[in-house]
Amino acid sequence: MFLSNNSTYPIGLDISDLSLKLVQLNKIRGKIKIQALSKLNLPRGIISNGEIKNKPELLKAIKKIIAAPLYGKVSSEEVVACLPESKTFIKLIEVQKSPNALADIIGGEIEKHVPMALDEIYYDWQVIEDLTDKFSVLIGAAPKEIVNQYTLLLDEAKLSPAALEIEPVAFCRCLLNEEAPNSKQITFGAKAKIGAGLNYGIIDIGANHTCMIFYSANTILFTVSMPISGEEITAKISEVLKLTAEQSEKAKIICGLNEDKASGVIKEILDGTVKNLIQKIKEALAFYENYFARRGPINKILLCGGGANISNLDKILSRELALEVSLSDALTNVNEDKDKFNRVFLEKHSLSLKAAELDAKNKEKNLSIEQNSSVTFTTAIGLALRGIFIDEL
């Protein structure tokens, strides 16, 4: 009899304003493998700031990415999707112990932390630590209106939503070995010992939105919005150099923050943006040190999201923050052959010589680059890992 090896795990679907990303994983002889992977750019206006504006077009795009992924084949109608990061909320709070039921106390506390009325949100919570007189509780919240929009969308796409997640939960699951059930560092499900593992800052630099999350001892602590986005950077280059959006996008990817490319023209244009980013990260680190001192210092900053590919950003941040900063590894919790997937993730970018006004001084001939786009898939891989990790528990 022919036994199919097709995965029955839910698809991870990252729905962003300007792109859809899809990953389906499978477990084969105990190893987590990528069965399908794809990315589809969305025209502007279909989703705006996380709100669905043109559902028919979005449905078409979802059907297309599922029917014909760039790699492999999709074999499930179940989906784990994420809610738009800018619309959701996740934070570790402390609640005083009292004779009242914890659920009632949290209901009362949540409004102090979430900038929305209690009857307008769905929320969830989990006790992280039982301290003498209080509990540390991780709370997550999202506007009902957005959750309902995304649930209906998946329904109309004939998909069955296994879960809608808050995005940082997904990218932590993708990037941190601590999140894996078989992690050697901290046992999943057990109370992680504060100070036992590393403390991380993770910065997701997207096309529209960037956020930094703080993570320690198996929990997210808080998230902060950052003043940088891929689209903003491209627009700035376009404005200063009077290039088209397409040329500016390529100039950004090819030159990045590299002084040797195009005489450092792009780096110079982005100087102020990078300085603002550094300032905001320093403020976030100071907040962490103020409120979470007993967890010890942040040991590492990981960069993810497509914008993390901007060349030299890791080095500049590392120097300015005096911290280890590195591009994250989207395959941390997947047992794939990196060389094989380097080919799948490879993207080539080249800039036509017409746009070489950019480099009037050097007259560089070959403005082109090949880059590994795996960090763009961190959220989608994290979403796809959910089903596998639950299964392993």
Interface residues with ligand ATP (CB under 6 A)? 16-19, 206-209, 230-231, 249, 252-253, 256, 305-307, 309-310, 371, 376
Beta strands (DSSP E) in 69-151 are 71-72, 78-83, 89-96, 121-130, 134-143
Minimum distance between the CB of residue 205 and ligand ATP, rounded to whole angstroms? 7
Which residue is nearest to Mg ion, using beta carbons?
Answer: 206
Reference 264, options 358, 367, 368; nearest CA is 358
Q: Which one, 127 or 245, has the nearer CB to ligand ATP?
A: 245
What are the CA-CA distances from residue 207 to residues 41, 107, 125, 358 (Å)? 11, 34, 30, 23
When CB distances are held under 5 to 8 angstroms depending on the partner's kind, the choice from ligand ATP, Mg ion, none that residue 173 binds is: none
What are the CA-CA distances from residue 53 to residues 43, 48, 65 (Å)? 12, 7, 19
Q: Do 213 and 175 touch, CB atoms closer than 8 A?
A: no
Q: Which one, 197 or 256, has the nearer CB to ligand ATP?
A: 256
When CB distances are held under 5 to 8 angstroms depending on the partner's kind, the choice from Mg ion, ligand ATP, none that residue 219 binds is: none
Minimum distance between the CB of residue 370 and ligand ATP, rounded to whole angstroms? 11
Q: Which one, 273 or 335, has the nearer CB to ligand ATP?
A: 273
Which residues, 201 to 240, sit near Mg ion by CB under 5 A? 206
What are the CA-CA distances from residue 278 to residues 180, 264, 283, 285, 351 (Å)? 31, 19, 9, 10, 29
Q: Which one, 69 or 307, has the nearer CB to ligand ATP?
A: 307
Minimum distance between the CB of residue 16 and ligand ATP, rounded to whole angstroms? 3
Minimum distance between the CB of residue 206 and Mg ion, rounded to whole angstroms? 4
Q: Which one, 333 or 379, has the nearer CB to ligand ATP?
A: 379
Reference 163, options 149, 153, 151, 173; nearest CA is 151
When CB distances are held under 5 to 8 angstroms depending on the partner's kind, the choice from Mg ion, ligand ATP, none that residue 309 binds is: ligand ATP
> CA 289 to CA 294: how far, in whole Å?
9
Minimum distance between the CB of residue 229 and ligand ATP, rounded to whole angstroms? 6
What is the three-class DSSP state of 109? helix
Selected range binding Mg ion among 13-21, 99-107, 223-231, 292-300, rule: CB under 5 A: 13-21
Q: Which one, 74 or 203, has the nearer CB to Mg ion?
A: 203
Bridge partners (DSSP) of residue 134 are 96
> CA 150 to CA 164: how far, in whole Å?
8
Give residues in contact with Mg ion (CB under 5 A).
16, 206
